[in-house]
Amino acid sequence: MSLLDFIKKSPKAELHLHIEGTLEPEQMFALAKRNNIHIPFKNINEAKKAYNFSNLESFLKIYYEGAKVLVKEQDFFDLTWAYALKCKEDNIVHAEIFFDPQTHTDRGISFDVVINGIYKALQKAQKEFGLSFKIIMCFLRHLDEKEGFKVLDEALAHKDKIYGVGLDSSETDNPPNKYEKLFKKAIKYGFITVAHAGEEGPPEYIWEALNLLNVKRIDHGVQCLKDEKLVEKLSENQIPLTVCPLSNIKLRVFNKLEDHSLKKMLDKKLMVMVNSDDPAYFGGYLNQNLIETQAALNLSKNEVKTLLINSFKSSFLSEEKKKEWINQI
């Protein structure tokens, strides 16, 4: 089997995916029309042209603007269903999905509308083609910790649907230590924790996520290579880093894919895998990320296999399910 076929046909897990980041321009325009919402682009081409980012902050501005077209439960269902179909296409058999309730509740959309739309679409995908999933609720780190406590309390009514909590949005100047109390409370409620750290921010933020937020995984984490002691700790404990190569290029964390540190991370025996982050904005879903990264870094078939195996090892699936999938790669 060619390496390309191996990538396309192997089962895989996606662990770093913002559901709001799967809003394709075509769907954005359709929902804007359906809900009579103004969007700052004349047409689909103009929107695509605006997806030319200089850093994380410049992307987030457009991403939050786009999310305004999501109003009704049906909108969240349609958005999530479209991603579920991409999973089927890419042979993603397990997806751990982020959603940002504050992006919606701050506009007057109820928490229930958001979570129910997402959950019902994933349940349908599970029933129709066996996609397994976990939902992770992210706190927006540019907002106060106080705001986070409010959504955490709302999440309690949906504890059966939400597996864990995470931390996303503007990393610079919003260190994990700002959310220590909030994460302690989330853990007390029984949520597992993850956090974006070391995307643009310094290695110190990764240390804080581990030591203060007790995270099971670091989202991105590519800045860890600047700190040898941290690399040692991450490698020894096999703490997963959910790397997103095309995202890192679009947000200028690296100049080009050939400069990406993923291969160095594999060489250092770090627990890394590939994810798509916000595929509608960054130029491709999971298979596209794998295909382009393999080519740019000249990854061997064994290295690609390690990435796919790591996607299951790093997931929140049961040990039994992990083994079943890994045996099929």
Residues that bind Zn ion (CB under 5 A): 277
73 binds, among Zn ion, ligand ADE, none (CB under 5 to 8 A by kind): none
Q: Which is nearer to ligand ADE, 21 or 117 (CB)?
A: 21
Helix-helix angle 111-129:73-90, to 10 degrees: 30
- State the nearest-atom distance from the C-beta of 196 to ligand ADE, in Å: 5
Q: Which is nearer to ligand ADE, 174 or 287 (CB)?
A: 174
18 binding ligand ADE? (CB under 6 A): yes
21 binding ligand ADE? (CB under 6 A): yes
Q: Name the residue number minimizing CB distance to Zn ion.
A: 277
DSSP 275: -
21 binds, among Zn ion, ligand ADE, none (CB under 5 to 8 A by kind): ligand ADE
Among 168, 274, 280, 297, the residue binding ligand ADE under the rule CB under 6 A is 168
Length in residues, the chain: 329
Cβ neighbours, 10 Å, residue 164:
22
169 binds, among Zn ion, ligand ADE, none (CB under 5 to 8 A by kind): ligand ADE
Q: Name the residue number minimizing CB distance to ligand ADE.
A: 168
14 binding ligand ADE? (CB under 6 A): no
Rounded Cα–Cα distance for residues 195 and 177 (Å):
12
Number of residues this chain uses to bind ligand ADE (CB under 6 A) = 11
Look at the block and give the residue holding tokens 């509608």.
280
Q: Is 171 a catalytic residue?
A: no
56 binding ligand ADE? (CB under 6 A): yes
Rounded Cα–Cα distance for residues 185 and 178 (Å):
14
Rounded Cα–Cα distance for residues 251 and 258 (Å):
15
Quick check: 199 and 172 in contact, CB under 8 A? no
- State the nearest-atom distance from the C-beta of 130 to Zn ion, in Å: 26
Strand 12-18 vs strand 217-220: parallel, antiparallel, or unpaired? unpaired
**Six token digits for residue 46:** 């103009």
DSSP notation for 209-263: HHHHS--SEEEE-GGGGG-HHHHHHHHHTT--EEE-HHHHHHTTSSSSGGG-SHH
Among 278, 279, 289, 306, the residue binding ligand ADE under the rule CB under 6 A is 278
Q: How would you classify residue 196: left for phi > 0, otherwise alpha for psi between -120 and 50, otherwise beta?
A: beta
- State the nearest-atom distance from the C-beta of 45 to ligand ADE, in Å: 23
Look at the block and give the residue holding tokens 């390309």.
4
Q: Annotated catalytic residue: which of 199, 200, 208, 292?
A: 199
75 binds, among ligand ADE, Zn ion, none (CB under 5 to 8 A by kind): none
- State the nearest-atom distance from the C-beta of 143 to Zn ion, in Å: 16
Among 75, 96, 277, 292, the residue binding ligand ADE under the rule CB under 6 A is 277
| Sign of torsion over alpha carbons 173, 57, 16, 237 | negative
200 binds, among ligand ADE, Zn ion, none (CB under 5 to 8 A by kind): none
96 binding ligand ADE? (CB under 6 A): no
Rounded Cα–Cα distance for residues 321 and 329 (Å):
13
169 binding ligand ADE? (CB under 6 A): yes
Which of 152, 11, 198, 219 shows the shortest CA–CA distance to 95? 11
- State the nearest-atom distance from the C-beta of 288 to ligand ADE, in Å: 16
Q: Which residues are catalytic?
A: 199
Task: Name the site residues for ligand ADE (rule: CB under 6 A).
Answer: 18, 21, 56, 63, 168-169, 196, 199, 247, 277-278
